[in-house]
Structure 1
């Protein structure tokens, strides 16, 4: 088979990073708009709360559970599709899904439809991330994957910033009414149109050959399950480490805007600009540091050295998780930016770790499983956990200290989990762990 021939190709035939920049930038652009539409609702959720009469618990369910349930159900099947079928076509289909979800958000008549709309954007964006990471890994050599994932992650970081900056800009633009809709609805209608335009470069991508396969592209599921089982001592703590980071980041991403609105008396159009710039800067910085740290860690020659940067970043995230109770907007911004920086570093390094230490036929499955678990626990549990802790502390007025507690505890767990994963890491993608 052609794919197996590509697996056995000599190193001189493997693509270099320079030759792959254009397709990597196309992947980054698709991730940018995907994560923008996925996170946009958090910026304007107070408008939806007022119109539809939503409580904080319902907002948490719409954004948390609404993203988590479909991720749990679909991320692993999408990961299997990524491992076995054309990834470019799959990416395009998922882009259409997140666009449809954004459009449905604009016209959602009630809680149930809004819940379904946010599920669609979550499935599309996180499924597409699995495809983009798998594609990016096969566009360059293993020793360059930190920098390749850096480019894809820059798109994700720009999208997370755009969820604040672009959504806030559109919200302000449509504050007087746009398209005959309330501002939060008109914002999502505008985002749906932008999404259709920015996915066009993906139409010109070509499927690259798959490399570093151990069992083969069409290996039976029983064989793949066996490969996963022998790597359990490595994968399990790696899962726990990254999911813990996702919990802290997801809770911060969903509840930062309400804390600014309720505690610091800021409106979306007032904080959207600096919040977007902050997240963009932290995302770009985290992607650069994470990509370079991952490649440096591989060159160190240590077992699991690729994870060194993730351990350091996770530790930095512990004090940064105190951002909700910082006491002033500048301190709030500095701590939140540091938390986003640390989360971006660990996320990128985890992605690189999977692409260099897991066989190709398992990468989509592993990334999908990571997303599924992160969706269930990170997006599904963390936002609701914040509301539960706030209730224990006295009610919705205790949102800021509750968010702090959840962030500090989960960030601490991630440090110890990454240390365990580092100790149990295999030496290469085709080697079994110790």
Structure 2
């Protein structure tokens, strides 16, 4: 597909720096997920010191964080569609990094809750402008690969939080771990501000794409236009249900390994997380690469069906992992499942950005993230905590958590249905 040529020195500079820019945006996403998910490896220590229930832990990881993270994404996206996206990302990164360090000062549930809300407020300014920048730097046929690389922030951030947080907590305590992962993000914010170039909107879109001009669309326009697209609706539903399951499992994954499988924090940090990071990285990169190849051969609709196939094959492995009690059996199955189940983010967000009007790209990303995070991040960890607490009287601490995790995995076919329907509507749209 023909793309708009770099018509100015600024365009040429943005294209020349798109690789390093993608790297830095991925690093910001890494810090976002690391600061968000470090709570998972620390929560058994926090639970013991602050005397918290699983429901309270779920609220800290889920709804209390997500309500601010998700809702503030909309005004931030509106600002990103109008102004300088690089400045927004840099300011947001500095804010959430500082608030992560503040988490290490909390003396009770309420103080930790307020600090986590601060992290959520800061992180609201990261993904929508990043999605918009990436879409402007990469043409449609290469976006899935670029978004796949960007989605490494999820895999590596969760693994980094587990490895760094678990190791530091083992030797120095959970409070030091919070400080250690928070402070470096402030330095990265400065680097992003100094290095990343703000690209022209629509820079890498096909030459026949409509120009981005006229009145700036409002929130209602963004919601209306997204939900008027049946393909986009199914993509949003698919990624939301997948995220509900994934956020719940991620929030309580280390607790499951400690309580139910019998590992300790250092084993998780030094063995499980590093190999898991490699497997998740391969899944994200391979998923993006396969999505690009599929789009070139069969059309963009095949990217949705690729997600369907990879997650469908990975589902039985997830069931086997959560049903296992022997770590020598469970952990290899977990690593194998990661090779398949983390492939969905790049193709999904690339397809959504490709469907979005030029001046609504950050807004569409924010609307998508609003739904994902209110339902997925907000309810996922909270629901697992509630289910686990409800089952403890009958099944005990360890088995109650296992059943909660299995219950969530069983919702995966619902997500797969929406990816199938998204592919159907994308194919019809391409043929129209």
TM-score (norm 2): 0.88
1:45-124 matched pairs, under 5 angstroms: 45-124=43-122
The equivalent position to 1:348 in structure 2, one of 343, 346, 349, is: 346
| Paired position in structure 1 for 2:418 | 417
Q: What is residue 4 of structure 2 aligned with on the other side?
A: 10
Distance 1:229 1:384, change over 3 A: closer
Q: Is the 8 A contact 1:17 1:144 kept in 2?
A: no
User: 2:197 — aligned with what?
Assistant: 206
Answer whether contact 1:35 1:125 (CA < 8 A) is retained.
Answer: no
Indicate yes or no: 2:270 matched with 1:273: yes
Shift of 1:229: 4.4
Q: Is 2:165 the counterpart of 1:167?
A: yes
TM-score, structure 1 normalization? 0.87
The number of residue pairs the alignment matches comes to 414
Q: Which residue of the partner structure matches residue 188 of structure 1?
A: 178
Q: Secondary structure at the match of 2:163?
A: helix
Secondary structure of residue in 2 paired with 1:108: coil
Distance, in Å, in 1 between the alignment partners of 2:145 and 2:98 is: 32
Q: What displacement does 1:126 show?
A: 5.0
CA distance in structure 1 between the aligned counterparts of 2:124 and 2:157, rounded to whole angstroms? 12
Deviation, structure 1 residue 197? 2.8
Q: Which of 351, 365, 384 pairs up with 2:382?
A: 384
Counterpart contact for 1:304–1:425, Cα < 8 Å: yes
Counterpart residue number, 1:4: none
Superposition deviation, residue 119 in structure 1: 2.4
- Whether the 8 Å CA contact 2:222–2:367 is kept in 1: the answer is no
Can you give the 5+ residue segments of structure 1 that lack an aligned partner in the other structure?
A: 1-7, 175-182
After TM superposition, where is structure 1 displaced by more than 6 Å over at least 4 residues in a row? Answer: 14-18
Counterpart Cα distance in 1 of 2:247 and 2:338: 10
**Closer/same/farther in 2, CA of residues 298 and 229 from structure 1, 3 Å limit:** same
Shift of 1:122: 3.0
1:9 Cα deviation (Å)? Answer: 7.4
Aligned to 1:400: 402
Separation (CA, whole Å) in 2 of partners of 1:413 and 1:354: 19
CA distance in structure 2 between the aligned counterparts of 1:83 and 1:27, rounded to whole angstroms = 17
Question: Could you tell me which residue of structure 2 aligns to residue 216 of structure 1?
Answer: 212
Cα distance, 1:242 vs. partner? 0.5
Report what 2:329 is aligned to. 331
Hey, what's the Cα distance between the residues in 1 that align with 2:122 and 2:314?
Answer: 28
- Name the SS for the 1:290 alignment partner: helix
Separation in structure 1 between the aligned mates of residue 374 and residue 221 of structure 2, nearest angstrom: 26
Q: Mean Cα displacement is larger for which, 190-199 or 44-53? A: 190-199
Q: Distance in 1 between matches of 2:125 and 2:369?
A: 8
1:139-163 Cα distance to aligned partner (Å, 9 max, x none):
2222221222233223332212101
